[in-house]
């Protein structure tokens, strides 16, 4: 489900958006960011990004794009927390993930698969690592040089 109206205004105000396509790379489906001219976008090159409205229009009006994404930078101060496999089959949040979501009390949405959660917070990422398997469940945390593919499928609890 894609609900652009639920994406926070402060994210929409950034000119750091792209569209993406699901593509198979090395045997895995991955989200590849694109500029509006059909060339690949880069999470490190602001010249390849556009406004939210332009990315949304391209996604809605042009064939071949699977969604939109915002590019994270240190300067925008947004941290993206990705909780894979955090939803039960009945659509409820697994207890371990619910504890994390409640601790951050921030914008939280269902991922494209419907099986995971995305949390966006204003913060500084603690340390250089982006992935942890030490917690009982894998968690990914990104603050820059990364695309964040959003759904706007807001989680309310």
Residue 133: the pLDDT is 64
User: Do both 97 and 56 map to the same domain?
Assistant: no
Residues 90, 133: one domain?
Answer: yes
pTM above 0.85, yes or no: yes
Q: Which residues does 104 contact at the CB level (< 8 Å), separation at least 6?
A: 81, 119, 121
Q: Are residues 50 and 108 in the same domain?
A: no
57 and 84 share one domain: no
Whether residue 135 lies inside any domain: the answer is yes
Say yes or no to pLDDT of 134 above 70.
Answer: no
Report the pLDDT averaged over residues 137-156.
91
53-77, pLDDT tens digit by residue? 999 999 999 888 999 999 999 999 9
Q: Is residue 156 part of a domain?
A: no
Whether residue 110 is contained in a domain is answered as yes
Do 58 and 28 share a structural domain? yes
What is the span of the domain harbouring residue 96? 78-150
User: Into how many domains does the chain fold?
Assistant: 2
Across 84-88, 130-134, 140-144, least confident range: 130-134
Q: Looking at 47, 71, 95, which one is the last position of a domain? A: 71
Instruction: Check: CB of residue 2 under 8 Å from CB of residue 152.
Output: yes
Residue closest to 54 by CA, chosen among 23, 22, 12? 12
Q: Are 81 and 121 in contact (CB under 8 A)?
A: yes
């Amino acid at each position: 489900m894609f609900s652009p109206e639920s994406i926070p205004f402060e994210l929409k105000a950034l000119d750091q958006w792209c569209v993406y396509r699901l593509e198979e790379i090395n045997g895995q489906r991955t989200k590849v960011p694109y500029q509006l001219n059909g060339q690949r976008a880069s999470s490190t090159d602001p010249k390849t990004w556009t406004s939210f409205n332009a990315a949304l229009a391209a996604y809605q009006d042009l064939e071949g794009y699977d969604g939109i994404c915002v590019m994270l930078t240190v300067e925008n101060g947004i941290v993206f927390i990705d909780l894979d496999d955090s939803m039960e089959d009945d659509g409820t949040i697994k207890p371990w993930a619910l504890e994390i979501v409640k601790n951050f009390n921030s914008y939280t949405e269902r991922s494209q698969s419907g099986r995971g959660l995305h949390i966006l917070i204003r913060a500084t990422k603690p340390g250089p690592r982006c992935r942890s398997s030490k917690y009982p469940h894998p968690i990914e945390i990104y603050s820059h040089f990364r695309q964040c593919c959003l759904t706007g499928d807001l989680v309310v609890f």
